[in-house]
Amino acid sequence: MLFTKYLLWSFMVVRVQLFLHQLQPFLFVNINDTAKIQCSSKEQLLAGGVTAQWYRRREGEAPMLIKSCSDNQNVNKVACILEGHNLTLAIYNAQRNDSGVYYCTDSYIIFLTFGNGSTLIVGDSYTTSSWVLPLAPSPHSLLSPGTADLACVVHGVSNPVQISWSISGDLQEQGLTRSLKAKDGSLVFINRISVPVATWTSGKNFTCDVKFNSSGKSVKKIARYIEAHSSECVPQTLRYAVAIFLVGQTAYAQLEVDSRNPNQSREQ
């Protein structure tokens, strides 16, 4: 039953991208500030039988209806602001538990469509247990032409984080992110990108940049291709995270990082 609900939700998210669009992949706000999450549509919302709604999905939880724009309930906390084809969800006095992925929706008779989602991060997701570790293909896995898969593991955070990649200073796509929850309740995020083997072996720097809050502080970790990889052991927590995400994928090796001190302070 749960799997069926997941497939239905995934189908709706893919389907909606033709109708609704959210231009803010990530939105950072400070605690007690107002978060404004935007959505646009080719057709005018709240007209002709169309009803706009907002859903929130948090890690480990099912999507939850946060606001139906046709009612006036709880407007001191959340409100819909409509301007023609543009719809904004305003969350007043935002708190940490407001963090999550927000989807704008509209429904017409029996159809329900979803926007592509905006991740809201309230406050600071960084904790004393947080660390960032890049993973890259081991040299022996690159014998045949094709693509090289790199991953960036972010461990021990309290809420979502923004993960981006750059190759020798050139910003790349966000990559594909998966997550899991640790026994202590903290979150682990694994972001993966694929590049041509020739690009990976060219000697360029591949930088994983993790942003935790609105202040601009971040952690940057660099990986680059080398002929031989470190023989140091990867931390057990990392093995567990990577095993879940990288089943059937290329063998990975730890590169350019000191596993003995993963709790490196954030860069200013």
Can you give the pLDDT at residue 69? 85
Structure tokens at 143: 């014998």
CATH superfamily of 2-122: Immunoglobulins (2.60.40.10)
Q: Give the predicted TM-score (pTM) of the model.
A: 0.74
**Which positions ≥6 away from 88 have C-beta within 8 Å?**
36, 37, 38, 39, 80, 81, 82
CATH for 131-254, options being 2.102.10.10, 2.40.40.20, 2.60.40.10, 3.30.70.580: 2.60.40.10
Q: Is residue 103 within 8 Å of 37, Cβ to Cβ?
A: no
Cα(158)–Cα(162) distance, integer angstroms: 13
The per-residue pLDDT for 228 is: 53
Predicted local distance difference test score (pLDDT) of residue 113: 67
Q: Is the dihedral of CA 72, 73, 77, 80 positive or negative?
A: negative
Residue 71 is predicted with a pLDDT of: 80
Q: Point out which residues pair with 29 in neighbouring strands.
A: 122
* For the chain, domain boundaries: 2-122, 131-254
Are both 2-122 and 131-254 of the same fold?
yes
How far from each other are the two terminal CA atoms of the chain, in whole angstroms? 46
Output the six-digit token pair for 63: 């999507």
Please choose, from the candidates 27, 156, 13, the residue with its C-alpha nearest in 3D space to the C-alpha of residue 100.
27
Question: Tens-of-pLDDT digits for all 268 residues of the chain?
Answer: 544 444 444 444 433 333 778 989 999 999 999 999 999 877 766 554 457 889 999 887 888 999 988 887 777 899 998 887 888 999 999 999 999 999 988 766 556 667 789 999 999 999 999 999 999 887 766 666 688 889 999 999 999 999 999 998 887 767 788 888 888 889 999 999 999 998 998 989 999 999 999 887 799 999 988 765 444 444 444 444 454 444 333 344 433 333 333 445 565 3
